[in-house]
Amino acid sequence: MPIRRALLTALAVVYFGALIGLAFMPISAAARSVWCWPMLAFVPVGALLVLLLGPRRWWAAIAFAVLGASWIEAAQSIWMPVDYSQAMDAVWASLGAMAGVALTWLALRSAQQPAAPYPAVGPAASPHPREIGLD
């Protein structure tokens, strides 16, 4: 288990660092108007946070993801050119993180539930009357 956690932490650090680095790369206004990029970029953020914090703390994963998206937009408004940051990017990123949290939570929940046994079919399913003492 410690190796799994260390790998998840390393993956999260690399992904979050790349995401922050990409958020501060100057791009054209036309490319910034694409609404799906923040949403798609934050789906793994939500998934990684649920895997790191555990499925019982899904609410904390959403809170940290929303905080991270808001921090990125606030930092862009300070350090990037005027009108570079958009509040809707934080909203789309938060929705993407919520989708990542929900998908990961559902996947973990379904993996933890034991599979129902299949009923036996055929002659082996119904015992002979002498075997159960019905004669």
Residues 1-50 have pLDDT tens digits of 689 899 999 999 999 999 989 888 887 777 767 778 889 999 999 999 99
Domain-embedded: residue 76:
yes
CA dihedral 42, 56, 105, 74 (to 10 degrees): -10
In a domain, 83, yes or no: yes
pTM comes to: 0.76
- State how many domains the chain has: 1
Whether residue 79 is contained in a domain is answered as yes
Residue 24 lies in a domain: no
Reply yes or no on whether the pLDDT at 127 is more than 70: no
Comparing CA positions, the residue from 24, 42, 38, 41 lying closest to residue 84 is: 24
When the pLDDT of each residue in the chain is averaged and rounded to a whole number, the result is 85
Range of 69's domain?
A: 36-105
Does any domain span residue 5?
A: no
- Place 60 in a pLDDT band, splitting at 50, 70 and 90: very high
**Amino acid type, 10:** A
Residue 27, in any domain of the structure = no
Using alpha carbons, select from 12, 131, 21, 122 the residue that is nearest to residue 64. 12
